[in-house]
Structure formats: structure tokens, C-alpha cells
Chain A
Amino acid sequence: MSPFLWFIYGALSAYGAYILHHIIKKHRENKRLRVELRERLRQTNTEPLTVTVSPEGYVLRHGGDIVITTASTPTSGYVQFGNGSNILSETAQRYNAARERSRELLLRFLDAEQAKQLADGNSFITTSLSGRKWEIRQCGIDLLDDIGDRIRSYCYLADEAEGLPVYDQMLARKLMVEHHEGQILRDGVVTYDRDAPRYHIETLPNGARVIAPRRYFRTVNNE
């Protein structure tokens, strides 16, 4: 075999050994992290599970660790932790029990029509003292017009440090709509406004006008 082929053979062998070394190293690192995570969860098992809900999604925290984060709020069903450890399963059970308990409490404060709306669509409609209709959703509140179309959406929730189950959040929103509507209008974060202009118009120094959807001008909107 020519020296050149020997060289190629040697180089490929060295590269293969290098790749194998990194695969083994990564495998060991992953194993170490799994053991460490399991140990940390065991140590923090007494820590409460907190749930943070926002328009962007929801985050579950157990101790100092984020257990689950997702871009969409679950509209039905319960948390499952797949094939995780028993500790995670226990955490899921506590979360599900709290969720079920909060659902039972909420149902005590809904009339038959609202309970049906909740069962059908995970939201219900209630009326404030001013006569405005509001749709209470799992992840916010919608102010409705006379025919039930959405005028504005608000993100408004119980202090997140309390980590309330989702149906407790809905009950809290219901009571606030019915008795403290002004606070929602004042403090709620508007996440949708039907009457807001959809386009931003800006005149550049050279006189040209730029017209673009407002989402491309987030900084401008926030000012």
C-alpha cells in the first residue's frame, strides 16, 4: 500500500477514534446530569409545585427547577410526566388533585348555563355590575360586545407566587369581574384590542412613508 493510502487510513482511524471518544463523553455527561437531577428532585420533593400562566403559555416549577414549559395552555386534561421518576409522578398527582379540587370549588359558584359553557369550551360568560359581558377563560378574560364578539382581551391573574390551580384562577377572575371590574380595566394587560389600528405608519427622514403591520413595530408600540 502506498504511503498516501496509509496516511488516509491513519487519518480516518484517528477521526473515528475522536468521534467515538466524544460520543462516550456525551453519554457519561448525560448520565451524570440525570443522576444529579434525580437527586435534586429528591431533595426538593417537599417544595411546592407552582404554575405560572401567561398568554404565551404556562410553566411548571418544582423547587428551583422548571419541570415543564409549553407554548400553549392546556384547555383540558391533566399533567402527565411520562416515564419520569416516581417523584415527578407524585408531583403530578399533587398538581392534578389541586386542579380537581379547584374545579369543584368553581362549579359551586357557576349557574347551570355557565357550568355547561365550561364543560363545552373551558370558558364561561359572566356579567359585571355595569352590565358588560365578560368571557372568563383559563388564560385571561375577554370583554365582549352585545353580540358576544371580543372587544378586548386582558391578562389578569392571581399573584403568580401563589401558584393557583387553573380553575381557582377562573373563579378569582369571575369575582373580580363581578365586583371589581374597574381594577381589571385599570391593571389588566391588554393582549388584544379590536379597535386598535392594525398598521403602523411612519414617515422616514427622506419623506417616504412606511406602512407595516404593528407587530413589526413592537418597540414603537410600547412607548
Chain B
Amino acid sequence: MGKLTILDRTGDSEVSWTPGDVQSAKEAAIRFKEMTDDKGYLAFRADKEGNGTAPIKEFDPEAEEILMLPRMVGG
């Protein structure tokens, strides 16, 4: 089971998918693309224990968890 963890005002919201289940992975991929392309979110692949993260540009159906951050700005 993989999940998109999207940081938002509630803390975070999750979109999960099951590896091998094409439909759920496709829905997660669409959400990933919406967030990155339309809203400028940044994506990081992570394992579930939080050990090690890596930036990614494309949806990875094999990832255990993908963290999504809003656009970062100087304040």
C-alpha cells in the first residue's frame, strides 16, 4: 500500500493506492500531477519509517510514501 501525504491546513491528507491495482494507482497519479503541475507542489519519495527522502518529479507507483509540500517562498 502506497500513499500520497499532502501537507495542508488540517495537518495532512492522504491518498492511498495498492501496488498492482491499476485503478487506484492511476487515481493517485492524477492527483500527483494536479498538485505538482497545477499548484506547484514539490514531491519527495520516502519510506514509511521516514528514513531517507528523495525529490521526485514523476509519480512512482512503487513508492511506500510520497510527501507533497506546497510551493516554498521567502517571507
Chain A residues in contact with chain B, CB under 8 A? 48-50, 53-55, 94, 97-102, 104-105, 108-110, 154-160, 162-165, 168, 171-173, 175-176, 178-180, 183-184, 187-189
Contacts and interface: CB of A to CB of B under 8 A. Distances in A.
Contacts of A156: 72-75
B30 to A, nearest CB: 20
Q: List 9 tightest A-B contacts by C-beta distance, closest first.
A: A101-B11, A109-B50, A189-B74, A108-B50, A155-B75, A163-B9, A158-B70, A162-B70, A102-B11
A100 B11 contact: yes
B44 to A, nearest CB: 5
B11 A154 contact: no
A42 B73 CA distance: 33
Interface of B, helix, strand, loop or mixed by DSSP: strand
Contacts of A187: 72-74
Contacts of B22: none
B44 A158 contact: no
Contacts of B50: 108-110
A53 B72 CA distance: 13
A159 B71 contact: yes
Interface of B: 5, 7-12, 40, 42, 44, 46, 49-50, 53-55, 67, 69-75
Nearest to B44: A175
A10 B58 CA distance: 85
Contacts, number: 101
A109 B52 CA distance: 8
A49 B9 contact: yes
Contact of B8 (A157, A162, A184): A162
Contacts of A176: 42, 69, 72
A162 B40 CA distance: 12
Given A109-B46, A175-B42, A179-B53, 19 more contacts: A94-B10, A97-B11, A98-B11, A99-B11, A102-B11, A156-B75, A157-B73, A158-B69, A158-B71, A158-B72, A158-B73, A159-B73, A160-B73, A162-B70, A164-B7, A168-B7, A171-B67, A171-B69, A187-B73
